[in-house]
Amino acid sequence: MMPAIRSAGWIKKRFTNTGKKMKLVSYYQNGKINLGALENGMIYELHALNPKIADNMQSFLTSGEKQLLLAKTVLENGTATISKDDVELVSPVPDPPSVRDAYAFRQHVATARRNRGLEMIPEFDEIPIFYFTNHHAVFGEGDFPVRQRHTEKLDFELECAAVIGKKGRDISTGEADDYIAGFMIMNDFSARGLQMQEMKLNLGPAKGKDFGSSFGPWMITKDELENYRKSSSDGDRYDLKMKAFVNGIQVSEDSLANMTWTFAQIIERVSYGVDIFPGDIIGSGTCGTGCFLELNGSKITDNQWLKPGDTVSLEIETLGKLTNQILLTD
C-alpha cells in the first residue's frame, strides 16, 4: 500500500470561542458567485474585507488552514454588510470536483430492505459502500427543478455531507478526520420510479439520482462542532439532531451519531488507490426515517411522495435548515 499523502492539516488547531461560528456560504450577486461568512442573517464579504482571503470556496479550501485563520480574524474584527435576504445562497461548495454518497446508517438500510421483503445484507458490515452522483447538478436552497418523470415517486433523503479540505490517498481511518474541512446538510433527491426500474439491471443508481442534490445553507467548519464530537477508534461521530419536514409537517428524526460507518471509515474506503481533493463532497447516506421510501414501507406515511409545489426542509443541529420547493419545469 502506498503511504498516505500528507499535507498541512486542515482545521486541526482549536480556536478561541468568540460566540461566532464559522458558517461559510457561497452567494450569487452581480453575476458572480462569492464566498462569505454568515452571522445573524448578515454576510461578511471575506475577500473584500481581506484580499488575502480567496473569493471562492474552491480556492479557500485548496489554500488550507491559513485561509481559515484569516477568515476567523475577519469574523471577529470585521463588519458584515450584506443581508442574507438580498442575495441568493447557492450550494456552499458550488463546483465540487466530485460528489460521492455513502450508505452509512444501518436503520435506513435494514428498514428499507425489510419493507421490500428482503433480508439485511451481511456485506453492509464488511465495507462502507458509496456511489458517485452528478457533481454538475448541485443546488442550494430555493427552487429545485425536476422533469415530469422525476415526479414518479419523488423522494427526499436527509443526509449530512462532509467536505474534504486537503489532498490525500490511501488514508487510514485514524488519519481521515484530519482531511475533513467541514460539514453541511445534503438532500439526495431520488426519483424512485426511475431508480426502481434501472436497479433491476444491477447497475446504478443512475437517472434516478443524477438530476440533482441540494446542499447548504452553509458549511460549518469542523472545529465549531467540538462540543458535539464523540471520538472512537473508528473515527469521530457528531451528536447532532437531524429532522425533516414536508410542507411544515415533521416526518423524520434521527441523530448523526447513529452512523454505523463513520466519515473516517468511509474516507479510508474512498481514498484506496485514488486521490481525494479539496472540495470533494462525501454524503453520509440517508439517516433512519430519512426518506419516504422507508416511511411509506413502515406505514408511518401513506404512500406519500413529493409533488410539484411541495416544500421540503431538512434540519441538522448547528448546520441550519435547508429548504427547497419542488418546481416542475415541463
Residue with cell 445573524: 40
Q: Which residues of the chain have pLDDT under 50?
A: 1-8, 13-17
Domain at 99-328: CATH architecture: Alpha-Beta Complex (3.90)
Which of 187, 238, 251, 181 has the alpha carbon at shortest distance from 216?
A: 187
Structure confidence at residue 204 (pLDDT): 86
State the pTM of this model.
Answer: 0.94
Q: What is the pLDDT of residues 246-289, one digit of tens each?
A: 999 999 999 999 999 999 999 999 999 999 999 999 999 999 99
Half-sphere exposure of 196 (CA within 13 A, CB side): 13
Half-sphere exposure of 112 (CA within 13 A, CB side): 20
Structure confidence at residue 115 (pLDDT): 85
Structure confidence at residue 81 (pLDDT): 93
Cell reading at 26 = 457561497
Residue 198's alpha-carbon distances to 119, 193, 203, 206, 296, in angstroms, are 21, 9, 7, 8, 21
Structure confidence at residue 325 (pLDDT): 98
Structure confidence at residue 20 (pLDDT): 84
CA torsion sign for 12, 15, 19, 20 is negative
Give the domain ranges of the chain.
23-90, 99-328
Give the angle subtended at the CA of 275 by the CAs of 271 and 278, to the nearest 5°: 100
Structure confidence at residue 10 (pLDDT): 56
